[in-house]
Amino acid sequence: MGLRTLGLLLVGSVSCQPREEGPPPARGAISYDQHIAAGERTPTGDTLANPSSGSAEAKAMGEKLFAAMNCEGCHGTGATGFAAPSLVDGRWRYGGADAALFHSVFYGRPRGMPAYGGLMDQDAIWQVITYLTSQPIPAVVPTQAWR
């Protein structure tokens, strides 16, 4: 019952948007190469950062949330990948910076990542991100060899 209660408690209103919707940036504010390959870099003008980064408490809470919010059912036990991609291989479709991860969880992603923005408050989303980003990344991923 513990985890279930936890999941339900988190269903609350979202107090503020992660990014202010200001006026559109002036032409040329973002260079074209940044636009097509933002990679791990936070887009210009965005300073979204994980407030619970490095907190052991947030990491422990995030681990519980990862199971309680059913992330595990799609991404696998330990987020190692199942029906949905691995979140602990150090590689990202949509970027591994704090802002990108927050976006992935809050707004969802088109190929089947649900939007959790209406289900988890911002603190909870940051906790689960703290859990994910504190997982060890396997040392040698590019080569798989057989004997």
Q: Which of residues 34-73 bind ligand HEC (CB under 6 A)?
A: 69-71, 73
Candidate list 22, 24, 28, 110; residue touching ligand HEC; CB under 6 A: 110
User: Which amino acid type is present at position 43?
Assistant: P
The binding track of 10-49 with respect to another protein, each residue x by CB under 8 A or -, is: ----------------------------------------
User: Which residue, 69, 106, 66, 107, is CA-closest to 87?
Assistant: 66
In whole angstroms, the minimum distance from the beta carbon of 143 to another protein comes to 10
Tokens 């990542």, located at residue: 113
Contact call for residues 115 and 108 (beta carbons, < 8 A): yes
SS3 call for 125: helix
Q: Quick check: 105 binds ligand HEC (CB under 6 A)?
A: yes
Q: Quick check: 91 binds another protein (CB under 8 A)?
A: yes
